[in-house]
């Protein structure tokens, strides 16, 4: 089964690389032509050198210095380098464009993948996989192509010249050396791939552990677990060192064996040539020519071995990148799906059922309606399915059954991006880029000006705070907004939503992480933002949603109560019990 999988993966990688080659076929063809001319010049150098040696070491010296031979020798050597450099200049665009195209393709693909993938992925190990994969593509397209092809051409030319000028024994020794070298390299490189895969896996694991530990820096400090983190990281590095040492031993065997094959081949050729010179069957020039050709074949063989070995490593690295690209997005728009049409903003859930795992239903036959311009709040215990409603409305997932309608349009039948464009979200924890405050707010609407950002901040009552900072809107927020307080980050989220100006809003426990004073201030801003907009509030603190037009109480994925605040209190059901419990808890906290 593993072999079948590997051959399938190899086939897909080959097909992808072939598409790149086809796209740049004329540029690659020109580069290959330059390469062939460079190889012809390289092979001609020993032939000209033989003529120079024979001319200068004969029984009678020539009357004049063979200037044309010496100048021609220098020009041939120069032209070989010139054509190779010209080839690299032509081909570099192919490599750079292919690498950047795959890096961008992977970037776009990762954003297209669903929450399930991102919940299980480790960012620290994902980034080296992408880096190694794009580097592998560059190697396979560039160094691999322009080392294997010229080496085979050079060996073919040398064998042809040897067969035409000298006894077949010389060509036979060169061919036998090539076959032994190739066979040895194939067998031992294949064995080494296992070690390389393990080294890569452990390297990604180590980087993943490092990133995870640094991301959770505060947690490590809270529990005084620096030593534990160092021990865990050290354990991975210990395995990595062992795998690296095993990989190096395999590489040692490969290198020594390759060198031994080349040494035997060169020795056999020189013995034959030396014997022929002693018997006056060949000149000293012939000896130099054969020696040059032997080295000219053997040195490229070394390069060929290096390229094959590194090519297998690059192939292994590329495999992981293509595995990422084969991950299927959970949400895929139907071909030609239209955009969500503008409307008043009515939201309807019709008999929606949903589960993350088949054995654990999250939503069971949920039906609710949010009338245009009204606010509906959803409350319930943790795990009751509140936040799942928001994720389904944003179309992170599709329902297992039932429908979600926005202005009578099933959101599965329209482009998912247009649904999200129509919705503004103020989350529980605002995620900020490591950039300026101004740019973080401008992210709410691409193309917005600084004046647009300032108007949004004034509406969110954030402008005065930003202006009081030494660098104003150019203040850096730090990684994940570490330089700002929770309340300041929530105000940025509100300003983003104001700037986006959506018809539908989702407040996903937007104040639950704040203190009472900040919560009160932010709630007022949220109320102002929600005016005239269809709003879904996922609430933990019931005091923040008493003015909602309708309140839905959920328990174990079902709607168990629905009504306004006063109405639900009169029923003395689950909402009333939650209200009394929170009121008692808040009074005790104030004592």
Structure confidence by residue, pLDDT tens digits, 466-504: 888 888 889 888 777 777 887 788 888 888 888 888 889
Structure confidence by residue, pLDDT tens digits, 384-396: 888 899 999 999 8
Q: Which residues in 421-455 are b (16+ Cβ under 10 Å) and which e?
A: ebbbbbbbbbebeeebbbebbbbbbeebeeebbbb
The alpha-carbon radius of gyration of the chain (Å, integer) is 35
Question: Is residue 450, in this structure, part of any structural domain at all?
Answer: no
Residues 290 and 364 in one domain: no
The CB density around residue 5, as the number of other CB atoms within 10 Å, is 9
Three-state secondary structure call for residue 336: coil
Question: Is residue 440, in this structure, part of any structural domain at all?
Answer: no
| pLDDT for the residue numbered 1 | 36
Euclidean distance between CA atoms 78 and 73, whole angstroms: 9
Euclidean distance between CA atoms 580 and 569, whole angstroms: 9
Residues 418 and 284 in one domain: no
Euclidean distance between CA atoms 171 and 160, whole angstroms: 8
Which residue, 297, 326, 355, sits at the end of a domain? Answer: 326
How is residue 102 written in tokens? 């795959």
Assign residue 287 the CATH number of its domain: 1.20.1560.10
Residues 153 and 271 in one domain: yes
Euclidean distance between CA atoms 277 and 498, whole angstroms: 91
- The structure's pTM equals 0.68
Q: Into how many domains does the chain fold?
A: 2
| pLDDT for the residue numbered 65 | 55
Residues 211 and 254 in one domain: yes
Supply the DSSP symbol for 460: T
Structure confidence by residue, pLDDT tens digits, 562-587: 999 999 999 998 999 988 988 887 67
Residues 85 and 155 in one domain: yes
| pLDDT for the residue numbered 64 | 60
Mean pLDDT by 10 residues, the chain (591 residues): 49 71 75 76 72 64 61 75 77 78 84 78 72 81 69 75 78 82 79 77 79 72 76 87 86 84 82 80 74 70 69 79 84 87 92 88 92 92 88 91 93 91 86 86 88 88 86 84 80 87 86 68 80 88 87 92 93 90 74 59
Question: Is residue 584, in this structure, part of any structural domain at all?
Answer: yes
Euclidean distance between CA atoms 124 and 480, whole angstroms: 16
Residues 254 and 111 in one domain: yes
Assign residue 508 the CATH number of its domain: 3.40.50.300
Question: Is residue 494, in this structure, part of any structural domain at all?
Answer: no
How is residue 368 written in tokens? 């609710």
Instruction: Compute the Cα dihedral for 248, 253, 259, 261 and give only its sign.
Output: negative
Residues 223 and 301 in one domain: yes
Question: Is residue 245, in this structure, part of any structural domain at all?
Answer: yes
Range of the domain at 167: 15-326
The CA distances from residue 337 to 341, 391, 409, 422, in Å, are 12, 20, 12, 16
Question: Is residue 335, in this structure, part of any structural domain at all?
Answer: no
Question: Is residue 427, in this structure, part of any structural domain at all?
Answer: no
Residues 301 and 370 in one domain: no
Residues 186 and 266 in one domain: yes
Euclidean distance between CA atoms 558 and 354, whole angstroms: 11
Residues 90 and 143 in one domain: yes
Residues 208 and 351 in one domain: no
Q: Environment class of residue 357 by beta-carbon count within 10 Å: exposed (0-12), middle (13-18) or buried (19+)?
A: exposed
Question: Is residue 448, in this structure, part of any structural domain at all?
Answer: no
| pLDDT for the residue numbered 404 | 94
Residues 357 and 275 in one domain: no
Max Cα-Cα span within the chain: 124
């Amino acid at each position: 089964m593993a072999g079948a999988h590997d051959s399938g993966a190899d086939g897909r990688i080959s097909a992808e690389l072939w598409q790149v080659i086809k796209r740049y076929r004329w540029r690659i063809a020109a580069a290959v032509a330059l390469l062939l001319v460079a190889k012809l010049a390289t092979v001609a150098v020993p032939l000209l050198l033989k003529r120079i040696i024979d001319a200068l070491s004969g029984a009678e010296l020539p009357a004049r210095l063979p200037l044309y031979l010496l100048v021609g020798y220098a020009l041939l050597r120069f032209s070989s380098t010139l054509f190779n450099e010209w080839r690299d200049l032509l081909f570099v665009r192919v490599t750079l464009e292919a690498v950047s195209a795959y890096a961008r393709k992977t970037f776009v693909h990762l954003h297209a993948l669903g929450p399930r993938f991102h919940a299980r992925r480790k960012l620290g190990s994902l980034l080296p996989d992408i880096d190694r994969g794009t580097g592998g593509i560059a190697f396979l397209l560039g160094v691999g192509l322009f080392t294997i092809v010229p080496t085979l051409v050079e060996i073919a030319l040398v064998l042809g010249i040897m067969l035409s000028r000298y006894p077949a024994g010389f060509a036979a020794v060169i061919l036998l050396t090539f076959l032994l070298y190739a066979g040895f390299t194939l067998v031992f490189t294949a064995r080494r791939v296992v070690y390389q895969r393990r080294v890569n896996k452990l390297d990604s694991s180590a980087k993943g552990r490092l990133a995870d530990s640094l991301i959770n820096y505060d947690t490590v400090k809270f529990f005084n677990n620096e030593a534990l983190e160092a021990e865990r990281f050290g354990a991975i590095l210990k395995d990595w060192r062992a795998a690296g040492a095993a990989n190096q031993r395999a590489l040692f065997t490969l290198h020594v064996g390759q060198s031994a094959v080349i040494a035997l081949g060169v020795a056999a050729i020189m013995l034959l040539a030396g014997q022929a010179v002693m018997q006056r069957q060949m000149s000293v020039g012939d000896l130099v020519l054969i020696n040059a050709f032997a080295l000219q074949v053997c040195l490229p063989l070394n390069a060929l071995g290096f390229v094959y070995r590194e090519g297998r490593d690059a192939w292994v690295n590329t495999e992981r990148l293509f595995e990422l690209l084969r991950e299927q997005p959970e949400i895929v728009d139907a071909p030609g799906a239209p955009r969500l049409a503008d409307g008043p903003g009515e939201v309807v859930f019709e008999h929606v059922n949903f589960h993350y795992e088949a054995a654990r239903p999250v939503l069971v036959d949920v039906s609710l309606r949010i009338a245009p311009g009204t606010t509906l709040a959803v409350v319930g215990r943790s795990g009751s399915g509140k936040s799942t409603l928001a994720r389904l409305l944003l179309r992170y997932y599709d329902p297992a059954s039932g429908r979600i309608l926005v202005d009578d349009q099933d959101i599965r039948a329209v482009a998912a991006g247009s649904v999200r464009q129509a919705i503004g979200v103020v989350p529980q924890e605002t995620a900020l880029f490591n950039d300026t405050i101004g740019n973080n707010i401008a992210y709410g609407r691409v193309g917005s000006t600084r004046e647009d950002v300032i108007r949004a901040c004034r509406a969110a009552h954030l402008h005065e705070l930003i202006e009081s900072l030494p660098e104003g809107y150019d203040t850096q927020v730090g990684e994940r907004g570490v330089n700002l307080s929770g309340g300041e980050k929530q105000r940025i989220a509100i300003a983003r939503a104001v700037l986006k100006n959506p018809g539908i809003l989702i407040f996903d426990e937007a104040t639950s992480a704040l203190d009472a004073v900040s919560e009160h201030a932010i709630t007022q801003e949220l109320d102002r933002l929600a005016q005239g907009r269809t709003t879904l509030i996922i609430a933990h603190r019931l005091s923040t949603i008493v003015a909602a037009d309708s309140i839905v109480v959920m328990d174990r994925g079902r709607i168990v109560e629905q009504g306004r605040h006063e109405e639900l209190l009169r029923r003395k059901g689950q909402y009333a019990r939650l209200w009394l419990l929170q009121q008692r808890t808040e009074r005790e906290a104030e004592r």
